[in-house]
Amino acid sequence: MAVAKDDDKTGKEVEGVVMQEKGEEESVERAAKLAPKLIYEVIRRDGEEELQRTNRALVWSGIAAGIMISFSVVGEAILRTYLPEAPLSYLIENMGYSLGFLVVILGRMQLFTENTITTVLPVIHAPTWGLVAKVARLWGIVLFANVVGAFAVASLFAFTAALPDEIRPAMMELSQHATGFSTSDAFFRAIPAGVLVAAIVWMLPQAESAAFFVIGALTWLIAAGDFSHIVAGSVEMAYLMVQGELAVGDGIMRFFLPVLAGNIVGGTAIFSLMAYGQVKDDIGKQR
């Protein structure tokens, strides 16, 4: 009987050691950083899922994003209105620019610039004309829906009492500044914004509970760096257009098209290709 008890005790001790080692291994795995190839795979699969969404789902999600991104402009305008004049006021007021992006990205709404990496990785991974057509469909629908949402909320702000009168001068200043660059300046200022939004997408799978701060910090940098974002900027463009302060032709040719091109270059031609380049060899070994 004593031997049996000793054996039982030894077995439990061994089992306890195994469980402890297993728990430690799980803790290490949870704490370990995701390898670049795993981040790539998460985003690629997410992109494949996005490409399967229906037109109706894309339209409504895109319109919602176009509306909610307006709070980036409103947030910045509020801080500009009420902050005292000081050397650091510019840096503080640009924190307001993060608000709309936080709502849109954490709310999983369709923002065009996110798709410059998310839906592109599946095409880079296994290029086919069918996938290219799906990306073109999604880009066209989401961009159109974002702009519709931007014009809808800009009209609300311009023609109703939704926006307090105290905020309107700052909204006008921000809108005029955002759309006042030359064509070449608008294009080049849009490239860093495209890179930064793509970087947000790349970092989110690893960020977990820090997602709020990742989005907040990088979108603050877009504003503080005076870079141009096609969707948030479309709210500013629309705010001027609906009030007759900006001609349609000027808005499209001097702002919309060059900023769109710059964001695509930054998000797709630069960041997406670099991201794929760093994992290409690892992916090749798995095939």
Per-residue pLDDT of the chain (287 residues; tens, 9 = 90+): 555 555 555 555 545 444 555 555 554 454 456 778 888 888 999 999 999 999 999 999 999 999 999 999 999 999 999 999 998 999 999 999 999 999 999 999 999 999 989 999 999 888 899 999 999 999 999 999 999 999 999 999 999 999 999 999 999 999 999 999 999 999 999 999 999 999 999 999 888 789 999 999 999 999 999 999 999 999 999 999 999 999 999 999 999 999 999 999 999 999 988 888 888 776 655 55
Domains of the chain by residue range: 44-281
Q: Which fold does the domain 44-281 belong to in CATH?
A: Glycerol uptake facilitator protein (1.20.1080)
pLDDT of residue 153: 98
Alpha-carbon distance of 237 to 206, in angstroms, equals 34
d(Cα 17, Cα 191) in Å, to the nearest integer? 54
Phi, psi of 70 (to 5 degrees): -60, -25
Residue with tokens 């037109």: 55
| Integer-rounded Cα radius of gyration of the chain | 24
CA distance 231 to 201: 16
Note the pTM of the prediction, 2 decimals: 0.85
Neighbours of 69 (CB within 10 A): 27
User: Residue 194 corresponds to which amino acid?
Assistant: G
